Structure 1
Amino acid sequence: MGKREALVAIAVVAVFLAASAGKVDAAKAAAKGKYRALFNFGDSLADVGNLLIANGVSDNLTTARLPYGQTYFGKPTGRCSDGRLVIDHLALDTPYFEARGLGAVVWNSGALMTQIQWFRDLKPSFCNSTKEECKEFYANSLFVVGEFGGNDYNAPLFAGKGLTEAYKFMPDVIQGISDGIEELIAEGAVDLIVPGVMPTGCFPVYLNMLDMPAHEYGSRSGCIRQYNTFSWVHNAHLKRALEKLRPKYPNVRIIYGDYYTPVVQFILQPEKFGFYMQLPRACCGSPGSVAKAVYNFNLTAKCGEPGATACAHPSTHWSWDGIHLTEAAYGHIARGWLYGPFADQPIVQSP
């Protein structure tokens, strides 16, 4: 498998847009007249339902069933959350697309380079003007590149091969992301935000799956230290790769989007964000074994499956299903990307 093909995403994402979904944050950004469109590439953290629509509803697709979507949409949409994702909170009003019948365009899942090829294939649909006009259109669009890496690392980790094997993936993952950024810049992107990965060791799916010595768990967070270190190392390498790209493209803005810091803060300072509990616990799930019931995650009864239930108030939790975040958590992260502090520079710049 080559470097570019190494970035396998479970469920992706399309180009765009949810004119009604952005609400307050999107309205503020749009009011500044910054972007005409939003293009998003990523995995299940950013999938707004494309996998569901593209593949049809299957019995094993839990995101096609309640309680997914209960908080905002009132019905399942294929999003891996109780409501909106970061991309929905960032999405700007784009009547330009809807006027051309593109409001429901969806793509299947695929690697980053595969998604970029889909982007090229669809280019005539949303930019069929002159080369100069297309360049201007892209120059006034925001490109969200990721998160990528989480699913690549999950492959060896879920197979029980451990972190040693996962670390071997890292150079190819980072190079693949870097290559993808350059491909998008070549297409005309001038504003890109590239998110890092979340702290793996804080998620109930791993906390339920792994039995580690007591000293491997953070005394305050309860997260698995070496798994968080792995995520931190990925993010450090990604930031270094972005730093190398910036001088090469001085007229392009490449922003690092932080998923890691806010999730850690959700655990260590829950009251700051309106979350009532500190422990990593899924809002939607089932207790499973007595020893690990505190995580509310069970592989045999995951969210959306028989035996699983959702908490009464998802807005008080940061973890939705033990793997993905709640709408409330995604909202905090989106605001941090738009205005700071969860990005190395805010997307929305002060005049």
Structure 2
Amino acid sequence: MDRRALGAVGLLLVSCFLLARAGTGDSRFEVMFNFGDSLGDTGNICVNKSAANQLLLTFAQPPYGMTYFGHPTCRCSDGRLVVDFLAQELGLPLLPPSKQDGADFRRGASMAIVGATALDFEFLKSIGLGYPVWNNGAMNVQIQWFRDLLPSICGGAAPEAQNCKDYLARSLFVFGPFGGNDYNAMVFFGLTVDQARNYTPNIVDTVASGVEQLIQLGAVDIVVPGALPVGCFAVYLTFLPSDDPADYDEYGCLKALNELSIYQNSLLQSRLAGLQARYPSVRIVYADYYTHIDRMVRRPARFGFSTGAVPACCGAGGGRYNFELDARCGMKGATACREPSWHESWDGVHLTEAVNRLVAEGWLRGPYCHPPIVTHDQ
């Protein structure tokens, strides 16, 4: 796909579209399950204490959690995540991490974990990218974690039992986003963006296979978020700088990375449309992260922000991005801005609670899912 075609796809991503199931009217959910990476991890990275994870536990240090919880909860934000806002709006408890011992998962759980990839760790190893940080819990590992939970939340019944399927039919599934860490493994460790793009079909096919696995288990309402405009995030701007001004757009974002996200989103929507046609009794929702955050980057003041997505609220070093690997948020020398709610980027990698709130609202009631998750007042 050439750049002109990519631009056309970007224009088509004006709103999230629903691959709709006929007759869906009542969107009351009794349970919610979440899968994905650091954007949805409610604590699995801290519970799952491998040696590799210890490198990442800055998320367990102040000032993470300062805005809402008042202390770190191992969420990668100053407060709540998108999935937290979805749960609260639907009258559900905040989702416990699925690896937490003794937690009650009957009303939901988050399988998401920092560093999660779509592609299996063995695949990444096969292409020379088998670094331990990407071995926390790939997509298929998370699906197995979910399978392991089912007997305890289905009253001891096997996943194939009808009462378990009935239970899952009353559940909302948020599946992703996936793919960001796959690209991180590639572009941070030697591959070019063009080389990473060659693996996008593999990533999308893997995500689609995960959606199909959930459908076969009994899921009927599945929200599948797309990729973000990562070319506007401080971590990428810091580690992948270019001397050519033409590589940046007018907002200071790296064009090639954003085009990679647009490409993934176009392929993902196509694959989800195919799944929707195959499973007409299931509702598959494509959730548009890209368009909403892209609009925030372009017009921050319109959304109540004093800065765009580029500079981090929490970090060290100042400068254009306020991001240093050895003094990132949660580490010695890093500090948080006074008002995180005025900022879009929390730590140069993840979003502030204020952005997460807006994203959740855009998915719940539109216009970044159409029709939205909530189809009428509950």
Q: TM-score range by the shorter chain?
A: 0.7 to 0.9
Q: Match of 1:116?
A: 143
Note the alpha carbon deviations across 1:95-145, whole angstroms, 9 max, x for none. 7x99x9515977674111111111111111111266332222111110100
SS at match of 1:74: coil
Q: TM (normalized to structure 1)? A: 0.84
Which of 52, 71, 86 is the equivalent residue of 1:90?
A: 86
Q: Match of 1:331?
A: 357
State the alpha-carbon separation in 2 of the partners of residues 67 and 205 from structure 1: 19
Which of 101, 104, 121 is the equivalent residue of 1:102?
A: 104
Q: Percent identity between the aligned chains?
A: 47
Structure 2: stretches of 5+ with no match in the other structure: 1-25, 97-101, 114-135
State the alpha-carbon separation in 2 of the partners of residues 227 and 187 from structure 1: 35
In structure 2, relative to structure 1, the CA distance for the partners of 1:185 and 1:37 (3 Å cut) is same
RMSD: 2.2
Greater relative contact order structure (CA < 8 Å, 6+ sep): 2
Q: Match of 1:215?
A: 246
State the alpha-carbon separation in 2 of the partners of residues 268 and 112 from structure 1: 32
Note the alpha carbon deviations across 1:233-280, whole angstroms, 9 max, x for none. 011111111111111000100000111112111111112211012361
Give the residue type in structure 1 aligned to 2:30: R
In structure 2, relative to structure 1, the CA distance for the partners of 1:347 and 1:105 (3 Å cut) is closer
Q: Is the 8 A contact 1:222 1:279 kept in 2?
A: no
Q: Match of 2:66?
A: 70
1:192-231 → structure 2 map (5 Å cutoff): 192-212=222-242, 213-219=244-250, 221-231=251-261
Q: Is the 8 A contact 2:364 2:372 kept in 1?
A: yes
State the alpha-carbon separation in 1 of the partners of residues 255 and 345 from structure 2: 18
Counterpart check, 1:43 vs 2:37:
yes
State the alpha-carbon separation in 2 of the partners of residues 259 and 42 from structure 1: 14
1:85-164 → structure 2 map (5 Å cutoff): 85-91=81-87, 92-94=90-92, 102=104, 109-128=136-155, 131-164=161-194
State the alpha-carbon separation in 1 of the partners of residues 359 and 109 from structure 2: 26
Shift of residue 308, structure 1, vs aligned partner: 1.1
In structure 2, relative to structure 1, the CA distance for the partners of 1:264 and 1:240 (3 Å cut) is same
SS at match of 1:55: coil
State the number of aligned residues: 313
Note the alpha carbon deviations across 1:25-83, whole angstroms, 9 max, x for none. xxxxxxx7710100111011100111112218947510010011111111111101000
Shift of residue 180, structure 1, vs aligned partner: 0.4
State the alpha-carbon separation in 2 of the partners of residues 249 and 133 from structure 1: 21
State the alpha-carbon separation in 1 of the partners of residues 280 and 211 from structure 2: 14
State the alpha-carbon separation in 1 of the partners of residues 171 and 331 from structure 2: 39
State the alpha-carbon separation in 2 of the partners of residues 237 and 58 from structure 1: 35
1:158-177 → structure 2 map (5 Å cutoff): 158-177=188-207
State the alpha-carbon separation in 2 of the partners of residues 279 and 59 from structure 1: 25
Counterpart check, 1:278 vs 2:308:
yes
Give the residue type in structure 1 aligned to 2:84: D
State the alpha-carbon separation in 1 of the partners of residues 240 and 35 from structure 2: 30
SS at match of 2:32: strand
Q: Is the 8 A contact 1:336 1:343 kept in 2?
A: yes
Structure 1: stretches of 5+ with no match in the other structure: 1-31
State the alpha-carbon separation in 2 of the partners of residues 260 and 59 from structure 1: 29
In structure 2, relative to structure 1, the CA distance for the partners of 1:217 and 1:118 (3 Å cut) is same
Give the residue type in structure 2 aligned to 1:55: K
1:180-259 → structure 2 map (5 Å cutoff): 180-212=210-242, 213-219=244-250, 221-259=251-289
State the alpha-carbon separation in 1 of the partners of residues 45 and 206 from structure 2: 22
Give the residue type in structure 2 aligned to 1:146: G
SS at match of 1:251: coil
